[in-house]
Structure 1
Amino acid sequence: MSCTFEVDRNNLQSCFRSVVCDAAHVSTPVDKAAIDALSSGLPNEKGKGLSTAHFPLAVSDALSLELKMLSEQALCRVTAELMAEATAADTPIMSYTQNGTSVPCMRRLLDMGLWLSNNAVTDPGVVYTLLEQVFEGSTLSECKDVFSWVEEHTEVLNKEVLMKRGKLIMLRTSNELLRRLSKANDTAFCGRILMMLASFLPLSERSALNLASKTNTANVTKCEKDYEEDEAMEG
């Protein structure tokens, strides 16, 4: 990784953090806040003069791979920072605020990540990467709050362009979360996760198919032969 890339990434990271955490930007709509961060943080003319009229980006106007990598890494690093700060402050991640802001920082960051993914600024799967990062670093109690955000944005998250790149990440994240939950004590939460997966993935989804035709050979069913005795008695 070049020094220039690191400098550009850190600059964009600072801009993302500013529009997420500073009280002066929290009241700004997510789309405008994201564009402001891009305009200030992108290292070349691609970010200059952007407005809501440019989005979603056409294929010919799409950011280069390097700039998409900048955006993704900057978002992931801000996510890690906020999680560490919320833990240090002993505050649930989805309730953590800074500088007297009224909107939790992580909620606004996820909103921004979803907007950027949905408008072709970053890879469509970036919002799922952020969610996986948050779920992995959260307690089970915090995971319920994060999952509530997922349920609130199901309609957008379920768009084909996003789900095509993010369904495996979401499936992996959900399965890992189910493994952490108690089947006896967290039945309601497990049900919410399964219902969400059912709405995201079609019945023909390959992950639900036994493509290798594997069977449980250890399961032997023993059949009782009482019918032979019955026939002998009848005879």
Structure 2
Amino acid sequence: MSFTSLPLTEINHKLPARNIIESQWITLQLTLFAQEQQAKSVSHAIVSSAYRKAEKIIRDAYRYQREQKVEQQQELACLRKNTLEKMEVEWLEQHVKHLQDDENQFRSLVDHAAHHIKNSIEQVLLAWFDQQSVDSVMCHRLARQATAMAEEGALYLRIHPEKEALMRETFGKRFTLIIEPSFSPDQAELSSTRYAVEFSLSRHFNALLKWLRNGEDKRGSDEY
């Protein structure tokens, strides 16, 4: 077999500070790399689908807006002509009211479209989050953070009791484990004598949803 055809995988982690690299370390890095690529592929497909749906809704709203604008321009032209010819105040007031109703209908359509887009994005995000493996994501983040804190010396990992076996199996004696019953199963804190990094997957995801919903509420109060 030609060596020029061998597949190569780039590992974006600092090599261990020793002459011989253990096969377990390489296997772990390759596993993390494969999981990361798979997660990226799935999330990209989900987000792309959401974008396509959102773009279609926006295009439909813009098309309706253009049609409404053309109709309004035609009605305004007719209004000017009839006003100059007949000067009928009552008819003018009724027609203006009709235009106002059309404007209110258009605003309602835009508000509905925006709300639908937000709901679609939220449903896509919820579906994506439900498909994620909490254990694999947590191990991946801990491995990356441990690499970044490699120069800090001894590292302490605080975790929920349910995750003790998983962490010992994945990281061995790399961390000093501290069991925290008050933690949620998806919560962890990695610390050294100088730094501490704490994260919770569900809390971070809920913060994202809150930001998305708050953004919709603020825009809903804007004037056109």
Q: Same fold (TM over 0.5)?
A: no
Q: Larger % of strand: which?
A: 2
TM normalised by structure 1 equals 0.23
TM normalised by structure 2 equals 0.23
